Amino acid sequence: MSDFAKTDIWVFDLDNTLYPSSCNLFELVSDKMNAFIEEFLGVDLAEAKRIRHEYYLKYGTTLSGLMQAHDLEPEKFLAFVHDIDHSRLDENPKLGAAIRALPGRKLIYTNGSVAHAEGVAGKIGILDAFEGVFDIKAANYVPKPEEKAFAQFLHDHDVDPARAAMFEDLPHNLVPAHACGMTTVLVHSDFDDHPSQQDASAEKLPSHVHHRTEDLTAFLQQLLD
């Protein structure tokens, strides 16, 4: 845990990181993306699913693919896909207490929207632990793991990477965090939808991942002991 001795900026991804993937909340977002694509492109569900996943892998997010390939205006998409029922989420007072006890600043960095982050973090009961949210709009719709997006995040929130740690469920999103000098923590997710997840087992982590945890709350509590 000596990696965190100088850490006073704590950066957390949102989906499948600040809540367990086992609740399947992001499945609702994926279903909404499929429905949007069906309507927007006039395709059936099977084709919508194919396009969603293809664009996610090729462009970083489905939204980015729709913007680049079909000139989609992003606001309508974001509002639609993040209009979900949060009842699958449980309040997590232990996680909230651990995050609040961390020394220094805490931020959320998401490829989703501020509204989505506020809805999710609010339902978990941890929203007040964070000083701000950096979302896809703030990144000018350039998604993680693009270096340009990370540079924008660091600039907008005055983050010194040498003093920062980032927590993510997607290994490839930690590549630019590691490259700029942040301590990186991979939070295990059962929502396996990217090839990079298959290359980051507990037995063999990629070089850009410093730590891995099955339980974010327990990991943070260990840091505080």
pLDDT tens digits, one per residue of 51-66:
999 999 999 999 999 9
Task: Give Cα 33 to chain centroid, integer Å.
Answer: 17
Q: Where do the DSSP E strands lie in 19-168?
A: 105-109, 132-134, 164-168
The number of beta carbons lying within 10 Å of the beta carbon of residue 167 is: 23
Average pLDDT, the chain: 94
Burial class (CB in 10 A: 0-12, 13-18, 19+), 158: exposed
The predicted model gives 144-159 an average pLDDT of 96
| 191 confidence band (pLDDT: 50, 70, 90) | low
Question: Which helix or strand (DSSP H or E) is residue 64 part of?
Answer: helix 62-70
